[in-house]
Structures are given as C-alpha cells and as structure tokens.
Amino acid sequence: MAASWRLGCDPRVLRYLLGSGGCRRLGLVRGASGWSFGRGASWRWLHSTQWLRVDPIKILMPSLSPTMEEGNIVKWLKKEGEAVSAGDALCEIETDKAVVTLDASDDGILAKIVVEEGSKNIRLGALIGLLVEEGEDWKHVEIPKDVGPPSPASKPSVPCPSPEPQISTPVKKEHIPGKLQFRLSPAARNILEKHSLDASQGTATGPRGIFTKEDALKLVQLKETGKITESRPTPAPLATPAVPLPPQAMATPPYTRPMIPPVSTPGQPNVVGTFTEIPASNIRRVIAKRLTESKSTVPHAYATTDCDLGAVLKARQSLVRDDIKVSVNDFIIKAAAVTLKQMPDVNVSWDGEGPKQLPFIDISVAVATDKGLITPIIKDAAAKGIREIADSVKALSKKARDGKLLPEEYQGGSFSISNLGMFGIDEFTAVINPPQACILAVGRFRPVLKLTRDEEGNAQLQRHQLITVTMSSDSRVVDDELATSFTTIGTSTGLKLGADLNTQSQKGLCWCLLPGIPRKQTTWYDSTLPTL
Amino acid sequence: MRKMLAAAISRVLSGVTQKPASRVLVASCNYSNDAMFAIKKCDLYRLEEGPPVTTVLTREDGLKYYRMMQTVRRMELKADQLYKQKFIRGFCHLCDGQEACSVGLEAGINPTDHVITSYRAHGLCYTRGLSVRSILAELTGRRGGCAKGKGGSMHMYVKNFYGGNGIVGAQGPLGAGIALACKYKGNKEVCLALYGDGAANQGQIAEAHNMAALWKLPCVFICENNLYGMGTPVERASASTDYYKRGNFIPGLRVDGMDVLGVREATKFVADYCRSGKGPIVMELQTYRYHGHSMSDPGISYRTREEVQNVRRESDPIMLLKDRMVNSKLATVEELKDIDVEVRKEVEDAAQFAMTDPEPPLEELAHHIYCNTPAFEVRGANQWIKFKSLS
C-alpha cells in the first residue's frame, strides 16, 4: 500500500496504528470512514480538534489566608497566550490581609483571563482563568458554564443519614442558572447574597445575558424603596429541628463546604446558633482603641460642681434679640479657654515622663456623628470672641457630620468639652482623649429653687438655672488641687462672662462679638480679669 | 486512494502530536524491554562499599514508577487546590518534588517491611497502598477517608505504615521500636524510620540511634534532607550538614533523592544490610520540596522563586525518569502522556469523591477509642453528655 510505503513501515504496523485503542485512534478510524463519504466535510471534521481537546484547566479563586472569603485581583503577571510553567506566578491577589501571588501548578499556556485585573470582591472558588496544555489551541478555549465551586448537583451516593427535612443546599446560584438561562457576575452574586435577594426578581442586562452588578444594585434600590421584598434563595433555616440534634451537624448538608460552627451570612441573620456580626467602621475601631487605652492607662480623677448660669442665659437672650445666635456651649468654651489662659498649669499634656506645657489653647468640642464621636478643634479659643467661636463650632460640626474633617481639624487640642445637656443628661463623666489632660462634661440646665438673701437681708426663694459640670482630669499632670481651682475659677469666669456681657449689651458695646479682634486691643474680658 | 489515506493518517497524527512526529511514532513502536542506567555514586561513611553504580530498569517497572510518581504529584497539587478552596482545612504538608523518595523507597523494600515517617506523609501513604480516594477523602474529613475522616493529614495509616506523626522527630524512637519488634519476632523484616533535616537535630533521634546500634536493630534511619527545615536553611540550623554522618557510630550513605533509581538501589542495599543483622544504618536522601513547609507558607520568603524553578527545570524527578525512559526507548512520550491523562482523571475523580462524600456521622464521635473492646459509654464535654464508643 502506498500508505505503508509512505510511512515506511509494514501493513501490520499500520493496522496496529489504526486499530489500537485510545480515543485518538478510534477517531482516526472514524475519520477514515468519514472521509470516504464526503471529502470536504470530513477534512474539516478531521481538522477540527474537537475530539482531541482535553478540558482546559480551570484556575479558581484560591483562599490564600484562613479568613479569606473573597479577594481582588490586583494584576495579571502573565498574558493570554503566554507559556506558563509550574511554579510561575500567575497573578497577584489582594486578600483581606496582604497581596499574595498565585502560583501555577501546571505547565501550559494561559488561555483565557476570565476576570480582569482590578476586579474586586471575587468570591472564593470563582473561575478567574483557564490554562490549557502546550500544544492545545488556546484561542478557542470555551469558558465552562459552572463558574462556582463544585456543584452539589452530583448528589452523594450515600444518602444523608439525617431524618430531618433537608434544608435545600445553600446552592451557589450560578449552578442552577448555569443550567437554565442566565449567569451571575461574581460582584452581583455578592450583592444579592448580602441583601437576600434573588436574581430572578430582576432582569439581566449584561452581555450574553449575564446578571451584572448594576442589575443587582438596581434590585437593592428597589428593595430599599420597598417595592420588592427579600426573597432568600434558600428557605430560612429550620425553625425548630424536629429531632433535638445539635444544629451544626444537620444545618449544613454534608456535601457542601462544611461550616462548623455555623457562620452567619450577611442578609440571613439569626440562623440558629449564630450571631450577627456588625462590622465596625474604621472610626469606631479607632475610637474603641483610643478610649480603651485612655481609660486603662490614664488615672482619671473627677471634680464636679454646679454653675449658676442665670447671667449667661440672660446674655444669650439679649444676643438673640439682636439676631446673634450663640449657644450656652459657646459660653462654656470661652470660659474654659479663658481659665486655661489664667491657669497654664492645666493646659498641659503628659508626654510619657512628665507634664508638658502646651503653647496653644485649642479646645476640642465633642460632636456626635453616626459614624462615631469626633472632636473638632477650635483653635486659639481664648483669643476668639463668642460669636466667632459659635460660628466655628457650627461649621466644624457640619463638616464632622458630613465626614469631611481634615486631620488637622481634629488632631491635637489641649482641652476637650463634651456637652450632653441637649440629650437630657443631668451629669456624666467623660473619658479623657489622650494626650490631653482634662475633659469637661457638661450636663443640662435644671431650675433649682434656692434660699438666698436679697439686698435687705430677707430670705427669699430664687430660681436659679444650674448646670452640673464634671471635669475628668489626668491625675498625673493635673492633681486634685489644680482641678478644683480650675473648676471654681472656671465657674466664676462663666458668671463674669455672663455678667459682663449683660453690662456691655446694656451699654451698647459689644466688643466681644466683633470677630477677629487682635489680641493687642484690650478686650472687655481682659479688663475684668487679673492680667497675666 | 492510498495516498489520500496516508495523507489523512499523517494529518491526523500531526494533529495529535502537533509536530511531524509520525515517523517518531512509528519508529519507537519497538520498545526495548529494559535498559541499564548509571547512578551517581553515593558518599559513604563507615562503609566499605556502597550500592551499585549501575542498575537495570525494566519497561514495566519504569512505567510503574512513572505512574506512581505522577500520581503522587497530581495528588499533592490537587490537595493544594482543595486547600485553597477551603475543602481541606488545618494542616497540610505537601511533598511534591520528593516523589522519587517515596516511590524509590517502596521499590527497594517488600510490602511486609515497615515504614514510619513524619507529617509530610501523603506520598508514602500512596506508595504503601492507600488509594488516592481515601487519602483525599481523609484530607477533606469525609467518611470515605482512610481514618474515617477523623484523622486528617497527619493521621493516615495502613498496614505496615505507621503514619503520619505530628511531633517533629517523634517517629525516630517509634521506628526503632518497630525494628525491635521485627528483631524479636525474627521475621527478617526491616523498618524504615524517616525524618527531616530539621528533626535530625532532635535529641530523641540520637537516643534512637543509640538504642538501635546497641541492640543491632534492623532499623534504617532515613533523613529526607530537603534543604529547609520549615523556613531555616540547613546551614543555619545544623552544625554539621552531613546528615548521613550524624549517626556517629552508625554507618551511613548519602543518596541523590531526585533520582528514583538511585533511591531504589540504595534502599535495596540498606535493607539487605539490616536484614543481615549488621544493625542499623543511616541514609540521607538529598531532595527538594517545591511547595512551602505547609499550606500557610508561600515558600518563597526564605528562598527565591528562581531557585525553585531551577530545581524544577534541572532535577525534577518525574522529568528525569521520563527523559531516561524516552531516550533509551523504554517508552514513548505519547505513552507517558497517556499515563498523565489517566492519572489526572483518577485524581480528579478522587477529588470529586472527596468533595461530595458525607462527613462521618456525629454518633461515631467516640468510636474507636480502643480496639477489640465491648461497647461502653464515654463522657463528653460535661458529665451530662454521653457518647457511645464501639471498637
């Protein structure tokens, strides 16, 4: 035979070649017969490598740290079509802790990058790339439909021994949709799971019918506006197990990833035996850390006194009549600043070895935001007038609530004031913000009847507006004596402020309210207090 | 017609191999039955002569070793993948790169001999007779595993294989004890006690050496030197890196652990030495591991990626055997590729089984505390929890 002559061996070997087992050789026999029917079609059939193709090796998202559930792909270190040998770095994956490189475990060619670099929040087990062996056609590699961790669709041959009603497996949605019509993008899947929504409630608008992240976000918006309700893709876990077996063993079908102890999933709170974690925002974490540090390392001492702010209230009312809005808090800030100027021994901070006197008088004012408590600073409060202080407080509070404070606006400060009076607190003690030395906790107004003597010496019941202030001080730098003098002087300064302001307003002179008065000019408070 | 047929065949064949290999295919259809290979000479200590420097490898043996090494390799890589998908948790120490050690050792001893090793045991588990299914299912903790899913990576046992020991160097004295049993029973069996370069500095290894030498136990102490004890290179850990000399009064030899034939011959030699009643012997296998110490170690923080790639390129055990076999016409590249494909499929199926098998039921929590004991009740975490224990 010409064939045998061509190939240089005898017919027996040719028959061996043609007849021996192995899919290729079977195909060869088929090919030969196919050829006899129609040359054109069979050539094409022979040329197609369909029956020669081995399944491409899937590259799945690995768990590179024990706590990792999803990761981001930072960078692909190999390009499509590039040869890869075992042990080469394929891509860099950002885990919750660090950036780790993913190594290839086989030799081959990187056929397809399924998830591009820069993609975020790719779940564990999602398909991120495909590798084919050398010699394979990498350009026409097919992306497999099931893009998730191995599906539990292949039911275990041994039936689960549990007599309980089976919880239908927390199936990753893409298996079933993969078999039906649509696919979920990994980001969409994450969002849907978090909000316990089902992809069938929305429409897939991505290319090739993929349910994209935008579709998921739209669904979430609809849910928020109440248009659709949560529909958990898995039925809620057993309310009461029929048999009182420990929920762990039965709550998870044995053929999916075992979760013992049961882990709470966002969007499915209160599964039997779990607790719901509320992730702390960065601010809260920092606050927690600093306050714990402060309370445990700084020896707090407390001094409480009542202030009679009747005069201040009157002053405030007269200012309001002139359309100048100031709050009592502003008066307190001013009084504290002035007292600090008088008593520089309290304007200190503990620098690890001893008290360090601070050259500035910056008062931090505590503002409550939904992210946590933050303290913007009024710089150089002693030099500012009440109105200026009021304006800065308002501006800084707004910035704080919007989350737009610059670091220099909340870092630093020599003294803090926290006012919970508007929330109805009578008195409270505050935690010092390190490295400051003191914090003043201001309560609310309460009207108190007091027995006083009036000018003629007759007993009279008078109504006073008192507020309780408690100063927490760091005993290392501000001892009890200093604290006491500060509070008493502070209270009297406050009274004086009010009184002077009243007299000033009566005289029609309100120097203090003019902003930006340079220090050199004698302002009204300087004249009433002992010069420094 | 004939021309067309020939063209069709050649085209298909070239489609198969992607190179004009049709002539090669035909030419190597005459396989040789066996071939002789040269082995690197072993360094000896207190020995007059060592293992032979040449050996004969038959085609059948070659294919068997190739298949076994490839299975161990793929099984370890599959375990790596499963770990990264969180199907395997806890500890997982992989031995890819060290396949020649496990396969070569098995080739040099009888199935009735005993083996005990450390936690890097998956390869030896396979060569000693466990199936890939049972190993992977044990790693994933399912009831199809060799220890019924209750042991995990470091507690895999089979007849004449004693694990799988978590404590570093613990298997040294145990191995000497097994050898004592062999000597006591007089059945001419030997015990291979493997340990690593890090464990070689452990005190109990020295104690085991002493007892074995004193009582002339048929124990082979094998040090698998993969150049790194966890993350510490041997130069920084040991005062003497000649681990084969560390037996002091025990003779030793150093073997290239990446050459499966070298390991086989050396193992035959040391096994004969012990069987003849001359006492223990130390064997150092110089090998390398591609993965890190365990799955939590990326493996490239104390060595460079280039170093690992170098070893893979120059002295990968599977590649060495493959080159030898193909160059001496013991097998063809395609045949070996077929074996690769079959092995891959076997490991895939085993992994699928390992992922879908159910876990052991809770009732079996307290079983197998003792063996051959009638059923009794065991107290749980507090005195009101009781478990039933069967053997």
We report the CATH number of the domain holding residue B86 as 3.40.50.970
Contact A124 B312 (CB under 8 A): no
Cα nearest neighbour of B30 on chain A:
A13
- Would B91 be classed as within a structural domain? yes
Q: Tell me what pLDDT residue A74 has.
A: 86
Give A525 or B7, the one with higher predicted confidence.
B7
Q: Which residues of A touch B309 (CB under 8 A)?
A: 85, 87-88
Domain residues for B256? 34-291+321-380
Q: Which residues of A touch B80 (CB under 8 A)?
A: 105
Regions of chain A short of the pLDDT cut 50: 1-9, 13-14, 16-52, 147-180, 232-258, 506-532
Q: Tell me what pLDDT residue A263 has.
A: 54
DSSP B229-255: ETTEEHHHH-S---GGGTTTTS-EEEE
pLDDT(B1) > 70: no
Band (pLDDT 50/70/90 cuts) for residue B88 is very high
The C-alpha atoms of residue A135 and residue B152 are separated, in whole angstroms, by: 38
Q: Which long-range contacts (CB under 8 A, 24 or more apart) does B137-140 make?
A: B137/B350, B137/B353, B137/B354, B137/B357, B139/B79, B139/B82, B139/B88, B139/B92, B139/B354, B140/B82, B140/B87, B140/B88, B140/B354, B140/B355, B140/B357
Q: Tell me what pLDDT residue A252 has.
A: 39
- Would B22 be classed as within a structural domain? no
- Would B207 be classed as within a structural domain? yes
Q: Tell me what pLDDT residue B360 has.
A: 93
Which of A344-353, A357-366, B339-348, B357-366 shows the highest mean pLDDT? Answer: B339-348
Q: Tell me what pLDDT residue B46 has.
A: 95
Q: Is the peptide bond before A261 cis (omega within 30 degrees of 0)?
A: yes
What percent of chain B is predicted at pLDDT more than 70? 92
- Where are the extended beta strands (E) located within chain B? 34-38, 43-45, 54-58, 114-116, 191-196, 219-225, 228-229, 232-233, 252-256, 281-286, 376-379, 386-389
Q: Tell me what pLDDT residue B121 has.
A: 95
Looking at A180-184, A384-388, B173-177, B306-310, which range is the least confident one? A180-184
Could you give the number of structural domains in chain B?
Answer: 1
- Would B80 be classed as within a structural domain? yes
Q: Which residues of B touch A245 (CB under 8 A)?
A: 362
Helices (H), A147-241: 175-179, 186-195, 213-224
Residue A521 contacts B where some CB pair is shorter than 8 Å: no
Q: Which of B8, B89, B361 sits opposite A32 (nearest CB)?
A: B8
The C-alpha atoms of residue A98 and residue A64 are separated, in whole angstroms, by: 9
Band (pLDDT 50/70/90 cuts) for residue B262 is very high
Looking at A160-164, B67-71, B149-153, which range is the least confident one? A160-164
Contact A7 B26 (CB under 8 A): yes
pTM recorded for the entire structure: 0.55
Contact A100 B141 (CB under 8 A): no
- Would B172 be classed as within a structural domain? yes
Contact B356 A63 (CB under 8 A): no
Q: What is the largest CA-CA distance in chain B?
A: 87
Mean pLDDT of chain B: 91
Other CB atoms within a 10 A radius of the CB of residue B306 amount to 9
- Would B300 be classed as within a structural domain? no
pLDDT in tens, A200-248: 777 777 777 788 888 888 888 887 777 655 554 444 333 333 333 343 4
- Would B385 be classed as within a structural domain? no
213-272 in A: which are within 8 Å (CB) of B? 245-246, 249, 254-255, 257-258
Give B26 or B67, the one with higher predicted confidence.
B67
Q: Which of B5, B298, B309 sits opposite A3 (nearest CB)?
A: B5
Mean pLDDT of all residues in B41-51: 95
The C-alpha atoms of residue B179 and residue A232 are separated, in whole angstroms, by: 61
Contact A24 B308 (CB under 8 A): no
The C-alpha atoms of residue A112 and residue B89 are separated, in whole angstroms, by: 29
Return the CA Rg of chain B: 23
| Domains, chain A, ordered by start | 57-132 (2.40.50.100), 301-507 (3.30.559.10)
Q: Tell me what pLDDT residue A511 has.
A: 40
Band (pLDDT 50/70/90 cuts) for residue B4 is low
Q: How many helices (H) and strands (E) does chain B have?
A: 13, 12
Return the CA Rg of chain A: 38
ipTM of the modeled complex: 0.71
Residue of A393, A338, A398, A387 whose CA lies nearest to A364? A393
Question: Across-strand partners of B219?
Answer: B191
Contact B357 A255 (CB under 8 A): yes
- Would B347 be classed as within a structural domain? yes
Q: Which residues of A touch B296 (CB under 8 A)?
A: 66
Residue A100 contacts B where some CB pair is shorter than 8 Å: yes
pLDDT in tens, A152-168: 333 333 333 333 333 33
